[in-house]
Amino acid sequence: MFTGIVTDVGEIERLEHRGDLRARVRASYAPEGIALGASIACDGVCLTVVDRGPEGRGAWFEVDISAETLSRTNLGTWAIGSRVNLERALRLGDELGGHIVSGHVDGRAEVIAMAEEGDSTRVTFRAPANLARFIAPKGSVALNGTSLTVNAVEGRDFGVNFIPHTRSHTTWGSARTGDLVNIEIDTLARYVARLAEPVE
């Protein structure tokens, strides 16, 4: 379980196909604090640490990414040097600063427009048709692992404002039109929609 509050920006250091895709991520987390089997959200995708080490600058950890995950997320676009949003799993007693995020990505949204609004950047996304009904104004959504508030919705399109702090402490400062980003809808929206469905 996560909150969508990014705690580090990692860098892809190695990619290796061995059935699944094995990725090595360089992070600033203390090496002794990364346990084998731990869950780390990488661009919003909950992945399991299968190896780790303290070599070089900071720590690194490795994760295996299945073909199913690659087909539903943007992790297939990772390359050596790609920067990724990271979040450690929520621990009992941690501050819940964002919203409840599972790390189970629902699909990919596309960045279709960007515009400066004061010190913030308004980014407009287009959601997949099957997810658009779960996105509401002033509701929450996780995009590339970042908990964000939806400002406006029109059909499949929705807008989010990024303040300077978010842009500088995540990968959102380098976002571009046409990017495909991982989207996880709010769990509450999912259950509300399910409750509204007729039961046969």
Question: Is residue 127 domain-resident?
Answer: yes
Across-strand partners of 41?
46, 87
Tell me the residue range of the domain where 112 lies.
Answer: 107-196
Question: What's the mean pLDDT in 184-194?
Answer: 82
pLDDT surpasses 90 at 148: yes
Average pLDDT (60-64) is: 95
Helix (H, G, I), strand (E, B) or coil at 197: coil
Per the domain annotation, does 131 fall within a domain? Answer: yes
CA 100, 103, 109, 115: dihedral to nearest 10 degrees? 60
Please tell me the predicted confidence (pLDDT) of residue 111: 98
As a whole number of angstroms, the longest Cα–Cα distance in the chain is: 59
Q: What is the CATH number of the domain that holds 32?
A: 2.40.30.20
- Minimum mean pLDDT range among 57-61, 120-124, 129-133, 184-188: 57-61
- How many domains in the chain? 2
Q: For the purposes of burial, counting CB atoms within 10 Å of the CB of 151, is it exposed (0-12), middle (13-18) or buried (19 or more)?
A: middle
DSSP state of 98: S
Q: How far apart are CA 7 and CA 26, in angstroms?
A: 13
pLDDT, one tens digit per residue, over 4-59 is 999 999 999 999 998 899 999 999 988 778 899 999 999 999 999 999 987 656 68
Cβ count within 10 A of residue 185: 21
pTM, entire model: 0.92
Question: Rounded CA gap, 183 and 180, in Å?
Answer: 9
In terms of domains, do 81 and 45 share one?
A: yes
DSSP helix/strand/coil, 57: coil
